[in-house]
Amino acid sequence: MRMFWKIGLLLPLGLVAIASGTVKSSAQQQDSVSVIPEPAHVSRGNGTLDLRHGLGFDTSVADADAVGVARYLQGLLATTGDGGLMKSSTKGVPQLRFAHRAVHVPRAGEDESYSLEVGADGIVIAASSRAGYLYGAISLWQMLAHNSGEVAAWRIEDEPRFRWRGIMLDSARHMQSEKFILQLLDYMAEHKLNRFHWHLTDDQGWRIEITRYPRLTAVGGYRPQTMPPYQPGSFAPTGPYGGFYTQEQIRRIVAYARERNITVVPEIEMPGHATAPLVAYPEYGSAAKPLTSMPVGWGIYPNLYSPKDATFAFLEDILTEVMELFPSEYIHVGGDEAIKNQWKENPEIQQKLHALGLHDEDALQSWFMARIEKFINAHGRKMVGWDEILQGGLSQNATVMSWRGMQGGIAAAKQGHDAILTPNRPLYFNYRQSEATDEPAGRDPVNSLADVYNFQAQPAELTPAEQTHILGVQGSIWTEYILTEDRVQHMLFPRAAALAELAWSPTAPKDFMDFLQRLPADLKRAEDAGLEPALSVYEVEAHAMPVGAGDHASVILSTQGALGQIHYTVDGSQVSATSPTYREPLSVRLPATLHALAFEGNTALGRPITQQITLASALRRDSRELDPCGNSAGIQMEQDPIRNAERPVFRVVYSRPCCVYRKADLDRFTRLTVGVGSIPYIFQSQGKQLPSRSDATSTQAQIAVHIDSCTGELLAKVPLQPAYRKDGLITLPAVSFPRQTGQHDMCFAVEGADAATVWVLNYIQPMGGDER
């Protein structure tokens, strides 16, 4: 799969800028500054700075902030192989100097602006704060990385568009290592992102050590297994699944972030998403029966904290320890997806609701959050919550994080409240980023790199005064279906770079193609740091359709970003910049081996694809190429725990397991087989109880194959029995159907499944005729 491909060929060492279709070496005059995020103002100076003998920095005339930032810069240069560039000598080499200046622009919060001037005799970074020094040094590093010769003279005046430039990581569902968190913080700093929103608690896990309540982690930090396999013992992990971050680890992470001008904002969910803490301490729950076991499913659980005094004492104790660990101005308290059935059914809670003079449970949640906010405010902090905290009335000083589109942020700003925009379309990075068949697991539909880059973060409905309440933007990644750190990297990078430019750079002009030209250098730096970003925007996708008697195929090549030119071969030779240029659909004789790669000038964008094209492969459809029936968005997921090294990705639509193969060429096949898997039903929805696996019996489930629509003529039935309660990918026996003519949609709908089983689809393979 592409996410495991290294990108060493993406930008050859010593090549630093792409312009006008050619790559310019470091010794040549540079026509643009390849910096991400793009600076606010850039002007070209005269001449170049000769760095062949290094760049000096004199610690004896620098303040402590400058010395610290210079050391940080030297560390950055070391990651890109340029560690020897900076010298302590002041003789015979140009100098790097840091200059303190007055606050550049009066604003709430820290002045993060800087100026960077590269002249023929040296470099000057000027700022009013350490943050400005830091960001000037990061821009300089991007200009110097992989460059040991000359750098053009430039002047940059730069400042951020938004105060809040964030990434949210869910560590509750699948936990990441401390090492990974530090890597993420490095990447954020290198892109001038300054808020790390850390989702530490949820139904499936409590990840923060609270010394006063050790059962939160001893019990709530672990679930019996990650997700249940069908064959007991076949893929079950050894022992409980989970873990937590110790307070010592958290202090290290917070200090590491602070050195990089990043504030870590903890999230402690309430009143919902609270199953883990309520299994540990059930006396603070609202359910009629105390919770006794940790869940192993996803979705929205109905378990809420009880709004009684003892619960608030419990939560205030927790928040006290949280605030001791995190000096953040903001404390995130969740507030989302609180299903209130337990409050409605609990007589004591209903009595309290009426005693408080509240008209419904939404108002009770508002009262609950207002009481928590008062406690947080009393400790000199501010409360932030998801946009559901608007329901029932917003707390006095609360900040709204808008995720269900823009409306929550708009409503908050109109009420005079601050808001942060992280709408799931397009700023949720657990959504897939391309339509490619080798994209890893993620939600549908696609949030592409361009979608992120072009997001309009200034709602037209707001007046200029109301716009000032939009603190900034955030990219968020939830990890229910993002099981491992390499998958998280693939989903975050480089969309986080596009987010950084959205958050930092001026509103206009914005040029996605210019961003794509600056991105290869950024991806190379990410590779240098040991990361594996997605190359989806550059890499070639090939779509083959059989033509004629089935001995030829028409092949369409494309890239998501449409940058550069695609070169290809079909004669078995490796592809290069001198290979034929793709201009129109190819006609290839089957079978054929296609090599294809996009180039900008002589620079390869990504890695070449190699695809064996046969009649069978041209007819095959991966689940990622199918449409869900109706309007239900699907989830592309791996089986959890991971079943094998291939890690097949399956489409699942919990509400309706049904998919459509568009425009099937039924002149060419009369048989087909299907690759499927099955998982226990693990998606809690709107407070409904999960089906009991003990209720499941031997199934007569089948896939009904209809022509033209899901109510059209029945062509075939594919029995699912061979795959029932088996882990992994199972290829079902082929079935035949009467010959048809022409192109038709084919509907594949699961029927007769027991309630405890979810059938997931990996591919559909037509068969029949000469399958060259």
| pLDDT at residue 20 is higher than 70 | no
Same domain membership, residue 427 and residue 445: yes
Same domain membership, residue 647 and residue 607: no
**Is 2 within the bounds of a domain?**
no
Same domain membership, residue 266 and residue 360: yes
**Is 25 within the bounds of a domain?**
no
Q: What is the pLDDT of residues 391-426, one digit of tens each?
A: 888 878 899 999 999 999 999 999 999 999 999 999
Same domain membership, residue 259 and residue 324: yes
Burial class of residue 95, CB neighbours in 10 A (0-12, 13-18, 19+): middle
Over residues 518-544, mean pLDDT: 95
Task: Decide: 745 and 708 in contact? Cβ < 8 Å.
Answer: yes
Same domain membership, residue 605 and residue 548: yes
- CB atoms under 10 Å from CB of 647, counted, come to 16
Rounded CA separation 573/592 (Å): 12
pLDDT of residue 640: 86
| pLDDT at residue 59 is higher than 60 | yes
pLDDT of residue 3: 33
Q: Which of 44, 192, 43, 32 is nearest to 127 (CA)?
A: 192
Same domain membership, residue 626 and residue 600: no
Over residues 468-494, mean pLDDT: 97
Same domain membership, residue 358 and residue 217: yes
pLDDT of residue 693: 65
Rounded CA separation 654/753 (Å): 12
| pLDDT at residue 16 is higher than 80 | no
Number of independent structural domains in the chain = 4
**Is 242 within the bounds of a domain?**
yes
Same domain membership, residue 434 and residue 371: yes
Over residues 194-215, mean pLDDT: 98
**Is 284 within the bounds of a domain?**
yes
pLDDT of residue 686: 67
| pLDDT at residue 369 is higher than 90 | yes
Burial class of residue 707, CB neighbours in 10 A (0-12, 13-18, 19+): middle
Same domain membership, residue 121 and residue 195: no
Confidence of residue 699 (pLDDT cuts 50, 70, 90): low
Beta pairing partners, 254: none
pLDDT of residue 279: 98
CATH number for position 153: 3.30.379.10
Beta pairing partners, 405: none
Provide the 3-class DSSP secondary structure of residue 479. coil
pLDDT of residue 26: 38
| pLDDT at residue 544 is higher than 60 | yes
Provide the 3-class DSSP secondary structure of residue 44. strand
**Is 46 within the bounds of a domain?**
yes
Q: Which of 104-113, 152-161, 258-267 has the lowest mean pLDDT?
A: 104-113
Among 553, 582, 617, which residue terminates a domain?
A: 617
| pLDDT at residue 6 is higher than 60 | no
pLDDT of residue 654: 85
Hey, what amino acid is at 470?
A: I
Q: Which of 201-205, 719-723, 756-760 has the lowest mean pLDDT?
A: 756-760
Same domain membership, residue 703 and residue 597: no
**Is 667 within the bounds of a domain?**
yes
pLDDT of residue 17: 30
Q: Which of 224, 225, 196, 220 is nearest to 206 (CA)?
A: 220
Task: Decide: 490 and 532 in contact? Cβ < 8 Å.
Answer: yes
Provide the 3-class DSSP secondary structure of residue 182. helix
Same domain membership, residue 264 and residue 119: no
Whole-model pTM: value is 0.94
Confidence of residue 147 (pLDDT cuts 50, 70, 90): confident
Over residues 608-629, mean pLDDT: 95
337 tagged catalytic: yes
Q: What is the DSSP letter of 33?
A: -
Q: Which of 704, 709, 707 is nearest to 759 (CA)?
A: 704
Over residues 39-60, mean pLDDT: 92
Percent of the chain with pLDDT over 70: 92
Confidence of residue 126 (pLDDT cuts 50, 70, 90): very high
pLDDT of residue 123: 97
Rounded CA separation 531/510 (Å): 27
pLDDT of residue 322: 98
Provide the 3-class DSSP secondary structure of residue 506. coil
Among 559, 593, 617, which residue terminates a domain?
A: 617
Rounded CA separation 193/164 (Å): 8
Confidence of residue 27 (pLDDT cuts 50, 70, 90): very low
Q: Measure the CA angle with vertex 327, ends 204 and 496; round to 5°.
A: 60
**Buried-exposed string 391-406: b where 16+ CB fall within 10 A, e elsewhere:** bbbbbeebbbbbbeeb
pLDDT of residue 695: 56
User: Which has the higher per-residue pLDDT, 330 or 297?
Assistant: 330
Q: Which domain holds residue 105?
A: 41-158
Confidence of residue 694 (pLDDT cuts 50, 70, 90): low
Percent of the chain with pLDDT over 90: 77
pLDDT of residue 646: 86
Confidence of residue 449 (pLDDT cuts 50, 70, 90): very high
Over residues 347-375, mean pLDDT: 97
pLDDT of residue 269: 98
What does the mean pLDDT of the chain come to?
A: 91
Beta pairing partners, 238: none
Q: Which of 273, 332, 417, 706 is catalytic?
A: 273
Same domain membership, residue 395 and residue 307: yes
Q: Which of 41, 197, 166 is nearest to 105 (CA)?
A: 41
Structure tokens at 21: 């279709």
Q: Which of 337, 451, 466, 486 is catalytic?
A: 337
Structure tokens at 753: 């499944």
- CB atoms under 10 Å from CB of 511, counted, come to 12
Among 128, 158, 188, which residue terminates a domain?
A: 158
Over residues 119-142, mean pLDDT: 96
Over residues 476-489, mean pLDDT: 96
pLDDT of residue 232: 54
User: Which has the higher per-residue pLDDT, 583 or 17?
Assistant: 583
pLDDT of residue 23: 35
202 tagged catalytic: yes
| pLDDT at residue 682 is higher than 90 | no
Rounded CA separation 219/294 (Å): 8
Residues 6+ apart with CB under 8 A from 144: 51, 55, 77, 82, 85, 151
| pLDDT at residue 168 is higher than 60 | yes
Q: Which of 155, 129, 162, 121 is nearest to 140 (CA)?
A: 155
Confidence of residue 684 (pLDDT cuts 50, 70, 90): confident
Structure tokens at 651: 């489409």
**Is 30 within the bounds of a domain?**
no
**Is 401 within the bounds of a domain?**
yes
Q: Which of 342-346, 566-570, 640-644 has the lowest mean pLDDT?
A: 640-644
pLDDT of residue 108: 65
List, in sequence order, the alpha helices (H) in 434-580.
449-453, 464-467, 485-492, 495-504, 512-528
Confidence of residue 8 (pLDDT cuts 50, 70, 90): very low
Rounded CA separation 511/503 (Å): 15
Rounded CA separation 588/701 (Å): 40
Q: Which of 150, 170, 190, 202 is catalytic?
A: 202
CATH number for position 681: 2.60.120.260
CATH number for position 183: 3.20.20.80
| pLDDT at residue 1 is higher than 70 | no
pLDDT of residue 24: 38
pLDDT of residue 19: 29
Residues 6+ apart with CB under 8 A from 169: 176, 181, 184, 196, 197, 198, 199, 477, 479, 488
